[in-house]
Amino acid sequence: MSTKYKRGSFQLMKSMNRSTILNMIREEGPISRADIAKKTKLTPPTVSNIVKELISTQFVIETTQGMSKGGRKPTLLEINADQFYTIGVDVGTTQMKFVITNLFGKLKSHTTLTIPPFPSHEDILSIMKKGIRELMDGADLNKFLGIGVGMHGIVDPEEGRSLFAPAFQLHDIPIRDVLENEFNMIVKVENDARAMTLGEYWFGNGNDADNMLGVNVGNGIGAGLMVKGRLFHGEHNLAGEIGHITIDLSGPKCNCGNYGCLQTLAAGPAIAERAKKELKAGRPSLIHELVDGDYDKVDGQKVYEAATQQDPFSIELLHQTGRYLGIGLTNLIHTINPKRMIIGGGVSGAGEFLMRGIEETIQSRGLTDKAKETSIVLSKLGEHASAIGACVLVLEEFFIRQE
């Protein structure tokens, strides 16, 4: 074995141990050095040396002393949550959301920029840079660990590229290379639904479920699959494109070219289109008043607004949307069998009206009693879930041992 290889192996082990200890402090802190050594099976001197390094870099701080088990009280360690920040970007179909979070995913600042119709590669990258600059303006740049980007469509996370953004009909956007060159920090890129799932796993409703599914329902529908605590991408980064599961062979045409895809029946634009068709046919609804007869103003938000005012048509429309989603989710339960499914994205704002249809469908179509009992909850992180999840892409680099 060469000296170079030995040195490299030593550095790798040190890095792995560092991440292991840092993650234990994140998950279980405040915690003592002795308890870290006991739980990680690392030697006390190894723990002490790494902790000393973590304190010097200000990732970790010493805090109030714990209970003594005889002898001197132990000093406890915890993450120095507000010492460093991460930037998260969520690239939707009409808007780009930007957030700053601390090391525990707490939102510190946010902004939203509009994406113009038919944007070019340059437009997308320019908006990204503008939003990031706005958030960083006046801040101490040394406090930022990196930038995470959640991008709709097909993404190559290894290369940090958007391979295909269907809403823009754009291919091969070099997100990571451009942003790293612009801001000189780590940049991680992932599909937006997978980013949302990661955010929920760390800081939301998925932190006790290593096998889970996050479903992002907005202008399109995508999913992130977590297997044994790690995102699953599939062979060619296609895992989770559930918006293109066929639900109705004779259904509406999708922008992918197929007919009857789940997102043509249950995404935001599908809700709006069904509402417009019924309203123009004379269906009575409070929506007529909400849009002053201008059907171009009908969208999923207006349908939800009417439903909250007990409009029977809107309630039934959202209930039917839930049933369509329920069919797609039942297929996933039978295929993947996750412990939990988390529903996020703009359409999930209609929570109670959607969930009734989802639950009824799973109850009637689930293969077994256990399948019917699959936990289905709404996103805890709400409208910023994908952007916060994008921040986690960066945090993983520091807290999680890369195997």
Per-residue pLDDT tens over the stretch 108-128: 999 999 999 999 999 999 999
| Of 27, 60, 79, the domain-final residue | 79
| pLDDT value, residue 151 | 96
Half-sphere exposure of 341 (CA within 13 A, CB side): 30
Average pLDDT, the chain: 89
What per-residue confidence (pLDDT) applies to 196? 95
Q: Are 191 and 178 in contact (CB under 8 A)?
A: no
Q: What is the pLDDT of residue 8?
A: 47
Q: Are residues 221 and 193 in the same domain?
A: no
* CATH label of the domain that carries residue 302: 3.30.420.40
Structural domains in the chain (count): 3
Same domain (yes/no): 117, 188: yes
Looking at 79, 95, 129, the residue that finishes a domain is 79
Over residues 15-36, the mean pLDDT reads 89
For residues 226 and 166, state if they share a domain: no
CATH label of the domain that carries residue 13: 1.10.10.10
Residues 100 and 235 in one domain: no
Are 185 and 293 contained in the same domain? no
Res 62 pLDDT > 80? yes
Claim to verify: residue 232 and residue 320 sit in the same structural domain? yes
pTM (2 decimals)? 0.88
Domain containing 259 equals 212-379
pLDDT at position 399 is 85
Q: In which band, very low, low, confident or very high, does the pLDDT at 5 lie, cut at 50, 70 and 90?
A: very low
Compute the radius of gyration of the chain from its Cα atoms: 23
Co-location of 23 and 100 in the same domain: no
CB contact set of 313 (below 8 Å; sequence gap of 6+): 278, 283, 284, 285, 286, 287, 306
Mark whether 130 and 185 lie in a shared domain: yes
Domain end point (choices 41, 63, 79): 79
So what's the pLDDT on residue 7?
40
pLDDT at 199 > cutoff 60: yes
Residue 102: CB partners within 8 Å, gap ≥ 6?
81, 82, 84, 85, 108
> What is the pLDDT at residue 71?
61
Do 365 and 223 sit in the same domain of this protein?
A: yes
Task: Determine contact, residues 166/118, Cβ cutoff 8 Å.
Answer: no
130 & 273 share domain: no
Are residues 114 and 194 located together in one domain of the fold?
Answer: yes
Confidence of residue 295 (pLDDT cuts 50, 70, 90): confident
Tokens of 123: 């437009």
The label of the residue with tokens 């957030």 reads 99
- Are 54 and 112 contained in the same domain? no
Chain segment 371-393, per-residue pLDDT in tens: 999 999 999 999 999 999 999 99
